[in-house]
Amino acid sequence: MARRSCSGFTLVEMAVVVVIMGLVMMTVLPALNTVRSANQLSLTQSNLRSLMLATAAYVQANGCLPCPAVPGGTNKNFGRVGYYTGEDTPSPPIACGDCSSAPQGIPPFASLGIPASTAHDGWGHWITMRVDPALTNPDPVFVPPTASCTADDVSMGRYGCTVVGIGSYKGLCKAGLSAANRVVVTTPKGGGSQEAAVIFVSHGQAGYGSYVATPKKVGDSLSFPTTYAACSPTSGFARCNADNNAQFYDAAIVIDNSSKYTYDDVLAYADRNTLVSMFGNGACNTTWSSP
């Protein structure tokens, strides 16, 4: 009877296979991480654009900016504009209201008519929203926000109207800026500063400064590593873009793998005129200046 010869892999052959697999993994994994990071950044930018468009639509429909939602809420008003403080939704719902004491929070996704996922960035962190509170409750409120003064307004001295027609506004276009809590965005390295009506901030992969759900939160935000300095044009950007600070920095993403993330925030912001004109309407042409 003939014997059948059975042979297996030798240790050398197995070692060669393991080495080859290791080399393949070393080649593929960095590429996969790069693709994943690019997808997370792309999703973040898409969500920021969606939030800005939804905010512009809210301005067009209601004649005011929405207040940010209170982070960490659990009742049925969670995700609604910040002046919903009770358990029950007011009837009729209040579109414009005062949030001068809390101009920063998370996007009011329920009031904006968008899913909660859009209020998160590509890394799963809540996006921070801050507004100029002078524009959340202009007195009086007019729709559309570009409403011009009429002859009756001028003759009766209403709403500060002195002339009729284009260039003479009331409502949101007439409202002044906040003396405090103004949103100022600075671009380092000579980029200058500009006023914004609303800003949305993704706190990047590290997530430093983002709002987190209640039992995880420390205060209202994640703690900062000691490598971050106080606010300055050259360091500490992540710290500046958090903790209810109205001074924001918009810089290129810089990652130093030897000392954690130096700066990985992604911002989207707009002034009042940009928001009003985002859907093809004329802008307020309002001068943004300190009161």
Residues 198 and 264 in one domain: yes
Q: What count of Cα atoms within 13 Å lies in the side-chain half-sphere of residue 121?
A: 30
Residues 133 and 273 reside in one and the same domain: yes
Query: Under a CB-based contact definition with an 8 Å cutoff, are residues 199 and 135 in contact?
Result: no
Structure-model confidence comparison of residues 108 and 101, the more confident one: 108
CA distances from 95 to 64, 136, 175, 200, 255 (A): 8, 9, 17, 20, 41
In single-letter form, the type of residue at position 259 comes to S
Which residues does residue 104 pair with via DSSP β-bridges, in sequence order? 130
Confirm whether pTM is higher than 0.85.
no
Q: Is 235 helix (H, G, I), strand (E, B) or coil?
A: coil
Q: What is the per-residue pLDDT across 261-276, written as a single tens digit (0 to 9) for each?
A: 568 899 999 999 999 9
Q: Clarify whether residues 128 and 161 are in a common domain.
A: no
- Mean pLDDT for the stretch of residues 236-243: 74
Q: Are 184 and 177 contacting, i.e. CB atoms less than 8 angstroms apart?
A: no
Same domain, 50 and 148: no
Give the model's confidence band at 289: pLDDT under 50 very low, under 70 low, under 90 confident, else very high.
low
Q: Looking at residue 217, what DSSP letter applies?
A: -
Residue 25 scores a pLDDT above 50: yes
What pLDDT does residue 89 have? 55
Residue 235's pLDDT is 62
Is 47 in the same domain as 119?
yes
Q: Do 107 and 210 sit in the same domain of this protein?
A: yes
Task: Note whether residue 90 is domain-resident.
Answer: no
Instruction: Name the residue range of residue 168's domain.
Output: 141-174
Q: Which residue has the higher pLDDT, 27 or 258?
A: 27
124 and 157 both lie in a single domain? no
pLDDT band of residue 84 (cuts 50, 70, 90) is low
| pLDDT tens readout for residues 92-104 | 567 898 888 889 9
Q: Is 84 contained in some domain?
A: no
**Among 155, 174, 193, which residue terminates a domain?**
174
Q: Residue 213: its pLDDT value, please?
A: 63
Instruction: Give a yes or no: residue 256 inside a domain.
Output: yes
Among 48-57, 142-151, 214-223, the range scoring the smallest mean pLDDT is 214-223
Is 2 within a domain?
no
Query: Is the domain of 146 the same as that of 259?
Result: no
Q: Any alpha helices (H) in 209-251, and if so which ranges?
A: 237-240
User: Is the separation of the CB atoms in 153 and 113 below 8 Å?
Assistant: no
Q: Give me the number of domains the chain comprises.
A: 2
| Residue 88, domain member (yes or no) | no
In this prediction, residue 207 carries a pLDDT of 84
Arithmetic mean of pLDDT over the chain? 80
Residue 80 lies in a domain: no
Nearest one of 116, 88, 99 to 211, comparing CA atoms: 116
Residue range 187-235, pLDDT digits in tens: 877 778 888 999 999 988 888 888 876 545 555 556 666 555 556 655 6
pLDDT of 127:
94
Averaged pLDDT for residues 74-102: 72
Q: What is the pLDDT of residues 53-64, one digit of tens each?
A: 999 999 999 999
For the ranges 28-37, 118-127, 170-179, 192-201, the lowest mean pLDDT is seen at 28-37
